[in-house]
Amino acid sequence: MKWYTIFSLACLVAILLPAGCVFASGPESDQSPVHNEQTTAPVSKSPSESGSEIQRTDDDRYFYNIRIVSPKDLESMKNELNSDESLIRNENGDIIGIVSPRKLYIRGDLVDLQKETGKAGKTFDKTDVAEHLVDIVFGNDNAKLNLFKSNKDYQFWLDAYYTSDDTQYLLELAKLLNTLSDTTEFEDEELALGFLKTNYADVPYNFYNIKIIPQKMLDEFKDNRKSDERLIKDSEGKLIGIVGNDHLYLVDSMSFEDRKYYMLYGTLYSMGMHGTTYSERDSFFYQVGGVRNTELSELDKESIKLLYGGRLKTGIDMEEMKKTLGLKT
């Protein structure tokens, strides 16, 4: 290569190098030979010029950091809060995130947390329980309370076209009801199945009979129903069951999930709960607008405990119940 070629390249590098330094130096460089009329690079102020203003880069101004974190990580971060960070809590006081002017950390299990919160239920006092009990006991068909007996244990008696799923569910239901009653007890280790013995020297239980039967047989029971019996119909008005003080008949064509619902519904009805709530949306007894909750809420459970706690007696009306429970009449 000739010497003048080498000299030309050296001159070109000497020219380009300072220019590159100017563009790389950014807003704080003292050299500004290039002026762009459309965008002017911001000039940082010294603390004396800007007072307490915090200097931020372009990234700080245009990016907001949102991060999904595990509950465990959030718990650790809680103990290392900066002065500009605050905890976010839900209505139950659970920590669900941390927020600051430039970032937001949210725990990633909010859906599961909400489900647990729903199961835990709302806070309520004895007046809430008493008022809910009055709502779920008195319906359109009963002026007086009718409770299960307490002279001997009850046993579920399954008859006709039942399945092993039905028997397992009723044993679980018996265990649940035993946790809610201080007066009436259920046999929760075995059921009476099929035909009952008729030669008992002493009948060992009060039996609650549940028959799973064909539609034709159900229609025959309807035609000969007793005064204590109530018809159960689906959303289309079709007869699917009959419930009385000590028995429940259900059509055999419904699914197991539907049978579970109506076995619980029928049992609670026979235990004295004929009413409906229009305010407690998570209650089993809330049936507004086609809503069908399949499990007892915490308020339902507390109300059943009150109903079968020994203070209330068969035969009292709504006014007497309110007086007994200390409610306004």
144-193 confidence digits (pLDDT tens)? 999 999 999 999 999 999 999 999 999 999 999 999 999 999 999 999 99
Question: ∠107-109-111 over CA atoms, to 5°?
Answer: 125
What is the rounded average pLDDT of the residues 273-280? 95
**Mean per-residue pLDDT, 246-250:** 97
Integer Cα distance of 120 and 299 in angstroms: 10
**Res 291: pLDDT:** 87
- pLDDT for position 265: 98
What is the model's pLDDT at position 125? 92
- Concatenating the DSSP letter of every residue in 132-143 gives HHHHHH--SS-S
Tell me the C-alpha distance between 252 and 249, whole Å. Answer: 9
Does residue 46 have a pLDDT over 70? no
Q: How far apart are CA 288 and CA 281, in angstroms?
A: 9
State how far the Cα of 174 lies from the Cα of 249, in Å rounded to an integer.
18
| CA-to-CA separations, 63 to 59, 169, 181, 263, in angstroms, rounded | 6, 55, 59, 57
pLDDT tens per residue across span 200-229: 778 899 999 999 999 999 999 999 999 999
**Residues linked to residue 156 through DSSP beta bridges, in sequence order:** 208
Tokens representing 322 are 């309110």
Q: In the prediction, which pLDDT does 117 show?
A: 57
Beta strands in the chain (DSSP E): 65-69, 86-89, 95-99, 103-107, 154-160, 192-193, 206-213, 230-233, 239-243, 247-251
